[in-house]
Amino acid sequence: MLAATSALHAHAQGVVEHSETGGRNRPKRVVGIDRNGWSDWSETRIRAELPQFGEPSVASKRRFKSQRLTFLTSRTDQLDAWYLYELGFRQTPAPKPRFNPDPQLATLVDALAAWRSDGWLRVGTTLFDASGPLQRKLARHPHQLVRLTEHDQLPHTVAVLGGTRADESYVFVWASRAPDQSLDEAARHLGTYVAAKKHQVQAAFGAGFLFDPADLATPCATCYDNRRPGPDANLDEAVALLGLRPIERTSMAIPKPDKRGRTTRRR
């Protein structure tokens, strides 16, 4: 697992999630130390840095305003306490810190690491960077998407956009494979979709994870795109062909099948 790496990578994240697009999840106000010194990861700062991710919802702004200001003066207190005790510099026993990720998300990250998939380290640490509730939500996506596909026999996707700065912004796409799709066909479509979505929101990097009913924890295919954002006529055409909607015009949740097993297609 990437426990040690993810601990070093931890920072506050702004996340927008959508089933082309879905529920929005914004960070609490956190003040801490980043590479530029003291920084305020506030709604205003993230919105100014990543305006293409859309305006936060009214409910998100209300939740943000109700949260207290938190100062992060250290990220390694528990690790320091254990290490110094082990070295004999402290007399007070301290337990060794344990990483506690969502088990299903950890299976995904372990698979990326084992395969040495393109971008595996960057993608894995970013996934583990998520809070506990967000990790559990991300881990449910394969189940939700495969269930939709079983109802209507169509492929489905959900994209998660996140980051607090333009140079570390990302797009992650979970996708399900339809019964009449070959693995190669579904994997190619996923790669095209991730590239188009990343281009649409001008994110720094993107990754995709394809699932089918055979295994809801380990993807059957993955893709990664870290091309520098910027103008690209071919990707503009791909966005148009896929019918990707702007963030502000997309829905707020993964669609659910109705009682007759049908789902509403959303992009």
Domain that holds residue 179: 3-26+101-249
Least confident of 5-19, 22-36, 48-62, 130-144: 5-19
Neighbours of 91 (CB within 10 A): 7
Token digits of residue 46: 């993230």
Residue 33 is predicted with a pLDDT of 46
Residue 63 CB contacts under 8 Å (≥ 6 apart), including other chains: 26
> Is 11 among the domain residues?
yes
Report the domain count for the chain.
Answer: 1
> Is 66 among the domain residues?
no
Residue 75 is predicted with a pLDDT of 74
* Alpha-carbon distances, residue 244 vs 21, 67, 74, 84, 190 (angstroms): 9, 34, 41, 52, 14
Residue 254 is predicted with a pLDDT of 54
Question: In the sheet where 24-25 sits, what is the strand order?
Answer: 24-25, 15-18, 157-162, 170-176, 205-211, 221-225
Rounded average pLDDT over 164-179 = 92
Tokens 């103008």 found at: 231
Give the global pTM: 0.75
- pLDDT above 50 (res 32): no
> Is 152 among the domain residues?
yes
Q: What is the C-alpha separation between 256 and 77, in angstroms, rounded?
A: 43
What's the pLDDT tens digit per position in 12-29?
334 444 444 333 343 444
Residue 84 is predicted with a pLDDT of 94
Residue 54 is predicted with a pLDDT of 73
Least confident of 114-118, 228-232, 243-247: 243-247
- pLDDT above 90 (res 47): no
Q: What is the C-alpha separation between 246 and 243, in angstroms, rounded?
A: 10
Residue 62 is predicted with a pLDDT of 80
> Is 262 among the domain residues?
no
> Is 79 among the domain residues?
no
142 phi-psi bin (left φ>0, alpha ψ -120 to 50, beta other): alpha
Give the pLDDT band (50/70/90) at residue 245.
Answer: confident
What's the pLDDT tens digit per position in 189-217?
999 999 999 999 999 999 999 999 989 99
3-class DSSP state for residue 248? helix
- pLDDT above 70 (res 140): yes
> Is 224 among the domain residues?
yes
> Is 172 among the domain residues?
yes
